[in-house]
Structure 1
Amino acid sequence: MSLAKAETRRLVKRRFTRLFVLCGVLVLAAVAAGVLLTNHKTGPEQIAKATAEAQANYQQTVLANDRIKQECQRAQGTPDASNFPPNCEISDPAPSDFDPKWYLPPTFDFRESFGEMVTTFAAVLALVAYIVGASFVGAEWSSGGMMNLLLWRPRRLQVLGTKLGVLLSWTTVLTVVLGVLWTAGFYFIAKARGTTDSMTSGAWQSIGLMELRALVLVLVAGALGFGLASLGRHTATALGVAIGVTVVLQFGLAVLLGLANVKFPEVYLAPFWVFAWLNKQYVSQDFKTCDFSPTGGCQPETFTITWQMSGVALVALFALVVGGAMWTMRKRDIT
């Protein structure tokens, strides 16, 4: 049996891999079910009901406004007059202030809302890939299986590289299959509980590119978990780094940046770079530098994190961790 086939069998047959993939699938299924149950199809009946509700609220507000004006008139010349505007200048509501759209039940617009679902999909699968990747190689190191494997196949870099290649190949297949099901499922939800009317070839292309970036994110997450566990020669190393980065470096750093009044604090936090990668950009605004203009209002300074910048950061992180794992595999003692 070839090394690649043996590693593929080892990865797929592991109970931890199956369990964690199942947990990820169940989380995604719960999200899809929640969206299906909380959205509704909008038709003439719903529009008529929303229009009637908006009109009723408008009439109630007009009546309440009239009562306030009457109370204001009666209060003139008394100490209670200070509770009302001068000369009882109370503006009347306009029908446009009660848009019937605001009274419609939530509906799933595929073009407008599916991007958020792709972000959710990428986040769940990136977590699964990270932990599965860390466990895949970490268990080999901690159990002594890596040392035994190198007795059979003494080429260190080939062994570690094959393990990583198998992990990334398996992750690619899993992500693509689940991605197709995820897209088809939400398209069905939009058909049943929303709308797909605005979908054009350009919209489909944009969704496809976003899902491709999601795949890259999942692969990098799996490689990082694999690399960190190999560097520490234990699964707990990768998990510890993840917890440390999340709790200490991100939450703690966010608090420090806020206390120090640093401009564009989001630039220093990883989630916003991930958001920029998936959604093409993230614009950070510094409202302390507002330049007020008569026509535009507040014009704060901005800093844009582009998907290209995020891509460079992902490549650099991938090269640093995976390259470090390969280097230590070549240099360090195996025992």
Structure 2
Amino acid sequence: MIRLTRAEIRRLLSRRLSLVGALGALAITAGILLSVYQEAKPLPADAQATMRADFERAHQDWESNRKQLTTDCLAAQAQHRATDPNADFHCNDLEPRLEHWGKPETRFTELAPEILLGSGYMLGLLAFLIGASFIGAEFSTGSIATWLTFEPRRLRVYISKLAAAALVVAPLAVLVVSLLTGGIWLIVDRHGSTTGVTADAWSDLSGTAGRIVLLTCASAIVGTAVGLMVRHTAAALGIVIAYLALIEGTFSGVLQQQQLWLVGPNIRSWIHHGTTYPALECSPVADGNYQCSNVDRLLTFTDSSLYLGLTFALVVALAALVFHRRDIT
């Protein structure tokens, strides 16, 4: 089995798409770090001077009209509370503050987890494409039939292909996550704020990075399994695009109450070790109508782990059954 897996790894690494995908991932990583730098770097001196002057004018206006501004705010708040009892316009905190003007300070603890989440989606999709194209190309050229003449035990061939796909994308995922984490830290440490970066914060971030690597490997395995079932790279990619465009995109508003059954929110919950999703909650009011508002509902790490784990096992098992029973030619 080890020699078979090594052979599959060599074949996968020799494919042009694997190299192009790796270079593309590194290029995207560089672009993300450039974007972080643009966001974190301070404003030019002339822009800071303009911002300071605007702040001083606003603060002077507030000093001159604070009573009227507070009265108007309280009146608007009272009017709004007729339909929304929880409305709070923060009328006791209207004084302009310098820290609220200009460019907000970039914080490592806020920025890094969200960028890593985005990289997880990117790496997952890339790994799926690499895995699907790996097996899809073999069916298109007929080389899978030739390969089975050398190793007729299909289950061994199937497992070796899944293992090769996961082992090839794992180093790329580790490299991308490491570059992003280290790069963001260096940029924000110089131009932003690293306040709150404790040992616990690093532990959480390490867990996030590890789960992204595992997600990338699982995506490569699922891509290989789906490609084996549909026997064509374009068909496998079409399934993913159709799902993302229709289910996660077009009908996401209709399926707002069922988001816990969608792949995207479960991936976000798994990477972030739990998350919330918005849901519409309606309740009757005194006049007989209904009042609806958005509330945040919890999607736990345990629930998302079960969802993704069962989906992964189902796809892999179904592909194994198809490969074992279906004629190759």
* Partner SS state of residue 276, structure 2: strand
Superposed CA deviations along residues 87-111 of structure 1, whole A, max 9, x for unmatched, are xxxxxx8785312211142332111
Superposed CA deviations along residues 53-112 of structure 1, whole A, max 9, x for unmatched, are 4332121355678999xxxxxxxxxxxxxxxxxxxxxxxx87853122111423321112
Residue in 2 that maps onto 1:167: 165
Contact 1:53 1:100 in 2 (8 A): no
Matches within 5 A, 1:96-245: 96-245=94-243
C-alpha separation in 2, matches of 1:38 and 1:222:
33
Contact 1:213 1:277 in 2 (8 A): yes
Letter in 2 for 1:227: A
**CA RMSD, Structure 1 to Structure 2 (Å):** 3.1
- Tell me by how many angstroms 1:309 deviates: 0.8
C-alpha separation in 1, matches of 2:246 and 2:110:
35
Stretch deviating more after TM superposition (124-133 or 16-25): 16-25
Superposed CA deviations along residues 21-40 of structure 1, whole A, max 9, x for unmatched, are 21122112111101112212
- Tell me by how many angstroms 1:244 deviates: 1.8
- With normalisation by structure 1, the TM-score equals 0.79
Residue in 2 that maps onto 1:305: 299
* Number of aligned positions between the proteins: 299
Contact 1:40 1:107 in 2 (8 A): no
C-alpha separation in 2, matches of 1:289 and 1:179:
41
Letter in 2 for 1:125: L
Contact 1:291 1:299 in 2 (8 A): no
Contact 1:130 1:221 in 2 (8 A): yes
Q: Give the structure with higher Rg (CA).
A: 1
* Partner SS state of residue 317, structure 2: helix
Letter in 1 for 2:176: L
Superposed CA deviations along residues 233-268 of structure 1, whole A, max 9, x for unmatched, are 11122112102211223334324446xxxxx34334
**Which runs of 5 or more residues in structure 1 are unaligned?**
69-92, 259-263, 293-297
Contact 2:166 2:217 in 1 (8 A): yes
C-alpha separation in 2, matches of 1:314 and 1:287:
25
**Which runs of 5 or more residues in structure 2 are unaligned?**
70-90, 286-291
Contact 1:57 1:98 in 2 (8 A): yes
Contact 1:110 1:196 in 2 (8 A): yes
Residue in 2 that maps onto 1:327: 321
Residue in 2 that maps onto 1:279: 272
List, as ranges, runs of 4+ consecutive aligned residues in structure 1 with deviation greater than 4 Å: 46-53, 61-68, 93-96, 298-302
* Partner SS state of residue 97, structure 1: coil
Residue in 1 that maps onto 2:288: none
C-alpha separation in 2, matches of 1:229 and 1:7:
16
Superposed CA deviations along residues 259-281 of structure 1, whole A, max 9, x for unmatched, are xxxxx343343322222112222
| Identity in percent | 26
